[in-house]
Amino acid sequence: MSEDLPVIDCLQYANWSEKVFRQMREGRLAAVHVTICYHEDFKETVANIGAWNRRFQAFSDIIVPGRTAADVDAAMASDRTAIVFGCQNCSPIEDDIDLVEICHQLGIRFLQLTYNNQSLLATGCYEAEDSGVTRMGRQVIREMNRVGMVVDMSHSAERSTLEAIEISERPIAITHANPASWHKALRNKSDTVLAALAESGGMLGLSLYPHHLKDKSACTLTSFCEMVARTVELMGIDHVGFGSDLCQDQPDSVVEWMRNGTWSREMDYGEGSAGAAGFPEQPLWFRDNRDFGNILEGLKGVGFSTGEIERIAYRNWLDFYRTSFERGA
């Protein structure tokens, strides 16, 4: 049955707890890419990794570090979930390119070049002018390619994203976004970007965050699954997976940290907020990790075969991990 397949979710930022980890196991999560940085500098990111090391000790029966595809294979074989580290901003590398390799050595496998704003590396999707990938950005992409760290352009603007696809010698990822043709949002991606991403061998993680969904919290399962089908028509079956952007059990106060960090004293309410900060309600068919089976059944309902659902559920991301996390030439 498709609902019994393993799942890889390539972006979550939950309020981590034993409850969340056990729900991952109930939902058959083989791996989860977890955010360990929004605006933290290198030292603060290292402290976050220390907190994860304590979680790995406390819950070693259900979660393990995920630094390679082989780690994910082993996690599946032992009924555990591999935790893959990623950063939603380039702040941990500060202005020091040597920190790229050091972050990789610490287990970080995804790094966004921007988080909504202009960074030292590229332009975020909230900026009025998109100047593309910067001089430092080009050097950092080259270094990320060398050490085996994935370029993630989920929060980046269009020109910057297209340039990153072109510059990177390895396929990049957009770990959590949806097609803008389905729902227009600053964070969703144009068909031009998605076609270029697929052509280069990259991966798209489809988001379940309500601001990225058509009709937001009222989005239906059928609407979402029909969107998946159209995205596969555009990109091909091998380039689509899940990147839920699930922020389970986080207090609304966390949104202020996500939007503002330390760069602003004014509340940046962000997309779709209607002037009030806070997390939107999840759609009823996807409340937490236990509900991935609902989506897999929904994909069957819109015509996907078991083999195609398997690719979307976990195999595409696992194949991508296998070729992306090892050192380059």
Q: Which tens digits make up the pLDDT trace of 137-163?
A: 999 999 999 999 999 999 999 999 999
Task: Tell whether the model's pLDDT for residue 276 goes beyond 60.
Answer: no
SS3 content of the chain, % helix, strand, coil (to 5): 45, 15, 40
The mean pLDDT of 119-135, rounded to a whole number, is 97
Q: Residue 272: which pLDDT band, with cuts at 50, 70 and 90? A: very low
Check pLDDT > 70 for residue 67: yes
Contact call for residues 90 and 45 (beta carbons, < 8 A): no
**What are the strands, taking DSSP E only, across the chain?**
7-12, 29-37, 63-65, 81-87, 108-112, 150-152, 173-174, 203-206, 240-242
Q: How many CB atoms lie within 10 A of CB 232?
A: 19
Q: Report the pLDDT value the prediction gives residue 269, as an integer from 0 to 100.
A: 57
Does residue 312 surpass a pLDDT of 90?
A: yes
Q: What's the confidence (pLDDT) of residue 252?
A: 81
221 close to 285: Cβ distance less than 8 angstroms: yes
The pLDDT tens digits of the residues spanning 3-37 come to: 689 999 999 999 999 999 999 999 999 999 999 99
Mean pLDDT, to the nearest integer, of 239-244? 98
Q: How confident is the prediction for the chain on average, in pLDDT? A: 94
Domains of the chain: 2-98+171-324 (3.20.20.140)
pLDDT exceeding 90 applies to what percent of the chain? 88
pLDDT category at 274 given cuts 50, 70, 90 is: very low
Check pLDDT > 60 for residue 271: no
pLDDT number for residue 260 = 81
List of residues 6+ apart from 270 with CB closer than 8 A: 116, 211, 255, 258, 259, 277
**Distance between terminal CA atoms of the chain?**
41
